[in-house]
Amino acid sequence: MEFVLKHDSLRDMREVEHCLGTLSPHGDRPLQLVMHMLTQVVERHPELTTLHIGADEVYLLGEGEESRRWLLGSPGRSVEQLFLSHVTAVARAVKTTWPHLTVLMWDDMMRDMSQDTLRDSGLVGLVQPMLWDYNPDLDVNKTVSLLEKYSGAGLVDVWAASSFKGSTCVHTCVPSSQRHVDNTLRWLTVAGSVSPAVHLKGIALTGWQRYDHLSVLCELLPVSLPSLASCLQTLLDGQFDAETRSTISSKLGVSSVEVEAMERISKDSALFPGRFLAEIIVDLNSFLNSEEVRYFEHNMFLRGWLSPYQRQRKTANPLIMMQIQNQAAAFLTELQQKVERVRAEMSRLYPQSTAQEWEEEHVWPVRAPLQTAMEHITNCLKGTLPGRTLQTF
């Protein structure tokens, strides 16, 4: 919805002006828009058997003017009813148009609803809820209780969703396989703890591209493949022991399931698509996150000999300035070499726009203080050492 509702031509269909992710459910146009979008998806996937209609995190539903009027139009009306009526209409339209499709939807907006509300919603027999929880410390008992509630309301066919990339932090560059495996193991514990009345159909491994349509890129796929392989093998084996790790390492041709620690154990680069990009991203990320580079502007020499006071008055010690300049220049040179390697390889696998965005998000914030320090040093040394050749980047 964010992708669609960001456009000015459709902004009147937002629930509230400042939220791109929530569709106003009133009138015929919203359902027509959703069905138009879903038709495009179905036509692009002719062998499709299952369709996910989303419907999560519509936290501002009920706050639009039309929704407020609807809520006040009859006693007892609630945001829950507003949500359920729209989702039911979408699910019915899907089943009418494509009777063979199984319809999935996210469950979070229904978590606090009573069994009676869910049972009377019209969703029973139309949709299968998918529960998402990406926490490595997922609360097993609470999740089992939620599944039992859905089953008791008649929604007996349910799904789970974990993740193999994304979900850790919005700007994470390199994923932790162990974190995502821990979440997968928790879901396996949930699967083994529910009653026979709950039909857990499967676990979806989501791979986030962004937290939302306008947020920054999450971890790229090549650097996340060890995490994906780890989660998949964990689901197959039902555990994550030494044998599982060995299987993953052998299939990927690397020494560790953690992309930051992996080393090649095979010369066959085809075993791990994008492996070279993963390796040089890890190398660059390690350099970018080293304290002496990332916090260069906070080191003792800059704070003691190139403070704002000293920069303004150009009262800098030339010897210290030259030491700082040499260090900053060395960092910038090494950074430039690493970035050029990543840029060249990334451009082979991604559109130029993706490579550019990744570089601006991850490299530029670290490079900027180094460049700024070089500029200040140049200004301070111009009067003190007029004959010195000054480096620029």
Any alpha helices (H) in the chain, and if so which ranges? 2-5, 29-44, 65-72, 79-97, 115-119, 140-152, 177-191, 221-237, 242-252, 275-288, 291-294, 300-305, 308-313, 318-349, 352-362, 364-384
Q: How far is CA 173 from CA 265, 283, 370, in A?
A: 24, 12, 21
Sheet with 157-165, edge to edge strand ranges: 50-52, 102-106, 127-132, 157-165, 199-207
Is 258 a catalytic site residue? no
Q: Which residue has the tokens 């002719």?
A: 46
Q: What angle do CA 179, 104, 186 make, to 5 degrees?
A: 25
Whether the Cβ atoms of residue 198 and residue 148 lie closer than 8 Å to each other: yes
Contacts (Cβ under 8 Å, ≥6 apart) of 126: 88, 91, 92, 95, 103
Q: Which of 2, 15, 47, 57 is catalytic?
A: 57
- Residues shown for the chain: 393
What tokens were used for 88?
């039911």
User: What is the rounded distance in angstroms from the CA atom of residue 20 to the CA atom of residue 4?
Assistant: 8
Catalytic residue numbers? 57
